[in-house]
Structure 1
Amino acid sequence: MDMALYTGLVSFVIVMSVTPGPNNLMLMSSSALFGVRATLPTWLGVNLGFNIMLVAAVFGLGTLVARFPWAITLVKFGGAVWLLWMAWLFARAGLATAGPDGKVAAPVRSRPIRSYEAALFQWVNPKALLMTLSSAGAYVALADTAPERAVLMVATFILFGAPCGLLWVFAGGALKRFMADGRSARILNLAIAGILLVTVAMIVLA
C-alpha cells in the first residue's frame, strides 16, 4: 500500500468529517435538544448510512452518477428540501410563545432522529455524496481490488471520521445546558434554523 496516498486519504477524511455540514449540524442540534445519550443512535445511523454509500461508490456508484448526471441535482435539491423542513421545525420552536410560567413551548420535534432516518438521509446529503464519490475516485490506487479498497476506506472513515462526528455530539451536549433557560432555548433554536438555511443556500448555489 502506498503510505503517502493513504496519509492523503486520512487527511481528507479528517478535514471533511470535522468541518460543518448537514450531518454535523444535525448531530449538534439533536444533542443540544435531547442530550448526548439520546443522539448516539443518530450518530450510529449517520455512520452506517455513510459507509454503505461509500461501499456503493467504490463498486461503481460514480459511474452511475456520471451516466445520469441529473441524479446529482435530484440529490442536491432533495437534501435542501429536507434541511428546509428541519430549519422550519427549529424556527417554529424558537418563535413559540411563552406560557404562563414564562417558559417557552417544547421543541416541535419530540424525539431525536432515529438511526434508520439518519442512515437514509445520507442518500440525499450532498456533502456525504461528494465525500464518497471523491474518495472512491481519488484513491483507487490504494488497493488492487474493489473489495480491498472498500474495506480499507470504510475502516479509515470509522477510525478517523466517526470520532469527528462525536465531537459535534458532545458540543451539542454542552449547549444543552445553555438551553435550560427558556429564552436561551429560543435563541439557540433560531440560531440553528439560521445555520441550516445558510447550509441550504450553500447546497443550492454549489
Structure 2
Amino acid sequence: MDLSTFLAFLAAAALISLVPGPDMMFVAAHGMAKGPKAGVVAALGMSTGLAVHTVAAASGLGVLLQAAPAVLDAVRLLGAAFLLYLAWSTLRSARERVKSEADPALGAAAARPLRKTYVMAVLTNLANPKVVLFYLAFFPQFVAVDGSMPVWAQFLVLGAAFIVVGFAVDGSVGLATGTLSALLLRRPSVQRWLDRISAAIFAGLAARLVADQAR
C-alpha cells in the first residue's frame, strides 16, 4: 500500500463519514439530549466499537460472520432491542425532566453519567454486524496483496485511519448538536422535545436493523 493509495483511502473515508448514518444519528441524538460532552463521548464510544470491528475484520472473523446469516440476524435483533431500550430510557428521562423542574435534586439524579453514554455507544456500534462486512467490502480495494506489509496489518492501519476520520466527523456533530442543545436548556419544554426527538431516532435505528434482518 503506497502513499497515493492511502491518501485515496482517506478521501473515500472522509466522504463516507460525512454521509449521515446510524452512528452519526446516535451521536447527534445524545448531543441533543445530554449536551456537548455527551455527544463527543458518544462519538468516542462509536470509535471504540469500530476498533473492535477492525480487529475482527483483520483476524478473519468477518468472513465467518458473512458465512453465518443466522448469527448476523441474531446480532441485529439484539441490537434493535438495545436501541428500543435506549428510546424508552430517553422518554423516561423526558418525563423525569418534568419532575426535576419542581425538584432540582431529581434532575441531578436523572442525569446520565458520561461513562454510561460511552458504554451504550460502544454496544450500539457492536450491535451492527454490517460494519465488519462493510470493512470486508471496502478495505480490500486499498490493500496490496503483494506488498511488504501483511494483509492483516494493512487492515489494522486502514481501520485506524478510518476511525480517526470518523471520530473527527462524529465528534464535531456531537459537539455541534450538544452546544445547540445547551443553548436551549433555558427552556425546559424545548429540552423535553429534544429528548423525544432523540428517542424517535433510537427507535428509528432499531427499525432499520430489523428491516435489514428481514431482507
Scaled by the length of structure 1, the TM-score of the pair is: 0.79
1:171 maps to: 176
1:194 to 182, 200, 205: 200
When you count helix as a share of all residues, which structure comes out higher?
Answer: 2
Unaligned ranges ≥5, structure 1:
none
1:67/1:80 CA distance change after superposition, 3 Å:
same
After superposing the two structures, state which structure 1 stretch, 2-11 or 21-30, moved more.
2-11
2:167 to 162, 165, 182: 162
1:161 Cα deviation from its structure 2 partner: 1.8
Measured against aligned partners, the alpha-carbon deviations of 1:151-172 in whole angstroms (never above 9, x if no partner) come to 4312321342220111221122
2:56 & 2:136 partners in 1: Cα distance?
A: 9
Matched, 1:92 2:97: no
1:71 Cα deviation from its structure 2 partner: 1.5
2:113 maps to: 111
Over the aligned positions, Cα root-mean-square deviation in angstroms equals: 3.2
1:131 maps to: 134
Q: Is the 8 A contact 1:91 1:190 kept in 2?
A: yes
Number of matched pairs: 206
Q: Is the 8 A contact 1:76 1:124 kept in 2?
A: yes
1:138 & 1:57 partners in 2: Cα distance?
A: 14
Unaligned ranges ≥5, structure 2:
none
Q: How does 1:33-52 map to 2 (within 5 A)?
A: 33-52=33-52
2:146 & 2:154 partners in 1: Cα distance?
A: 5
2:191 to 178, 185, 193: 185
After superposing the two structures, state which structure 1 stretch, 83-92 or 196-205, moved more.
196-205
Q: Is the 8 A contact 2:83 2:124 kept in 1?
A: no
Percent identical residues:
23
After superposing the two structures, state which structure 1 stretch, 37-46 or 150-159, moved more.
37-46
1:70 Cα deviation from its structure 2 partner: 1.2
Matched, 1:72 2:75: no
Q: Is the 8 A contact 1:76 1:203 kept in 2?
A: yes
